[in-house]
Amino acid sequence: MRGSVVHTPDAPSAADATGLGRLPSERVRAWRLQVLAALLAQGGSVLLMVGVVALGHADAMAVTVWAPLSMLFSAGVWLALARGWTAHLRDPALTAPQIVWSIGSAVVCYALAGPLRLLAVPMACLALVFSIFALPARQVQHITVATLLAFGVVMAVLAQLQPHRYPPVEELLVFGLLLFSIPPIALLAGRLSELRARLGQQRRELAEALARIQELAVRDELTGLFNRRHMHDVLKQAQARAWRGRPFAVALLDIDHFKLVNDRHGHAVGDEVLRLFANVASHSVRSEDTVGRWGGEEFVVVFDDAQADAVAALAERLRQRVAAAQLPLADGSALSFTVSIGLVMHRPGELPEATLERADQLLYQAKARGRDRLEAQATMS
C-alpha cells in the first residue's frame, strides 16, 4: 500500500561527489563559518604578536615561525571541508582538534610575548568559550584541565629558566588568575549541556506529538488504514495524474452481513474482523495502490496507474483472499466472512465523486446478486 512518493534522483552534483551534498546545507554552512571564525581569531592573534615584536618584547624569528603554524591547522580544516575530505567524520569541522590547537597556539604565544604575555590568556579563554557552544560538557572539562596544565607547566619552566623575564611570583599570580577564570567556563559548559539536552528532548517530544497528530489526522484508529478524509485527497491526486494520462480505478468494498457478526459475536469480534480485513486488503494490492476505510464496514481502494484487466484481477484476488481468511474465536472455532466489491475505471474529465457513485452502484448490484462477488464495469470484465 502506497505510503510515500519516490522521486527519481538527479545527476550527482559536485557537492554530492565530495560527500557534503548528502548533508544538510545549513550544517555545512555552520561548519564553514566555524572554521572561518577560528581563522579570524588566530589572524587577530598573529597581528597582536606582530605588535609585540614591533615593541621589542618578542623574538621576530620565533614569531615568524609561530604565526603560520598557528593558522595552519584551521586553514587545513577549511580546505578539507571544502573538498569534502572530512565529510565521513562525525564532526567534519574537527571542532575539538581546532580548539586544542588554538589553545596550544595561545600557550606558545604566552612563552614568546614576555612582558605582554597576558595577551595570550584571552586568546585561550576565547577558544574555551567557543568550545562550550560546540562541544559536549565532558570534552570541555577535559580541555579545561589540559589548558590549566599546559599553562602551569610552561609558567613553571619559564620561571625556572628565565626568572628575570618571567618572575616566579608573577607567574604564580597569573596562574592563580587562570585558576579563578577558566574553571567557571567548564561549569558553564555543563549547564549549557544540560539545557541543550533538555531542549533536544523537548524538540523530540514535540516532533513525536506532531507526527502522532498528523498520523491521527489521516489514519483510521481502529484499522490503521487511511481515513475517509485522506482518501478524498488521494482521489484528487489521482484525478490530477489522470489529466496527465495516468488512469486510475476505484473499488468500493463492503463486508457482507457485518451486522450479524456484531449481533452474534459482539462488537469486539466485529472490530477484529475489520482489522483482519484491513490487513488482508493491504497485502493484496500493489505498492502504488491505496486502501482506506470509507466508513463502518465499507472500504475504498484507489488503484493507481491502472489497466482494466489487471485491476479486475487484483480486485478478484482480494475478494478470494478475504473469503479464505479466518478469525480465531475464544471458543476454538474460526469465523469466516466475505466481501462484495464494486469496481470502475475513472473516466477522463470525470469528477472523483462521480467515479465513486458508479462504484457504489456496482457494489449495490454485487449485494443484490448474492454478495461475495465482484461487479465491474463492462469494459473491465
**What type of residue is 351?**
L
Task: Tell me which residue has cell 479466518.
Answer: 326
Task: Count the residues in the chain.
Answer: 381
- What are φ and ψ of residue 250, in 5° steps? -130, 135
Please report the beta strands in 43-135, taking only residues with DSSP state E, as ranges in sequence order: none
> Which residue of the set 297, 316, 357, 375 is catalytic?
297
Q: Which of 38, 187, 15, 130 is nearest to 84 (CA)?
A: 15
Cell triple for 274? 475489520
Q: What CA–CA distance (Å, rounded) separates 117 from 319? A: 86
Across-strand partners of 252? 300, 342
Residue with cell 490530477: 240
**Pairing, β 374-376 against β 334-336:** unpaired
Determine the 3-state secondary structure of 103 from DSSP.
helix
| Three-state SS at 326 | strand
Given the DSSP bridges, would you call strands 249-255 and 298-303 parallel, antiparallel or unpaired?
antiparallel
β-pair type (339-345, 374-376): parallel
Report the 10 Å Cβ neighbour count for 286.
15
Residue 111: half-sphere exposure toward Cβ, Cα within 13 Å: 19
Q: Which residue has the cell 589553545?
A: 103
Whole-Å CA distances, 234 to 130, 227, 334? 50, 11, 35
Question: 210 exposed, middle or buried (CB, 10 Å; 0-12, 13-18, 19+)?
Answer: exposed
State in Å, rounded, how far the first CA of the chain is from the last one.
24
Is 170 known to be catalytic? no
Say if residue 149 is exposed, middle or buried (CB neighbours under 10 Å; 0-12, 13-18, 19+).
exposed
The three cell numbers locating residue 278: 484491513
* Residues catalogued as catalytic: 297
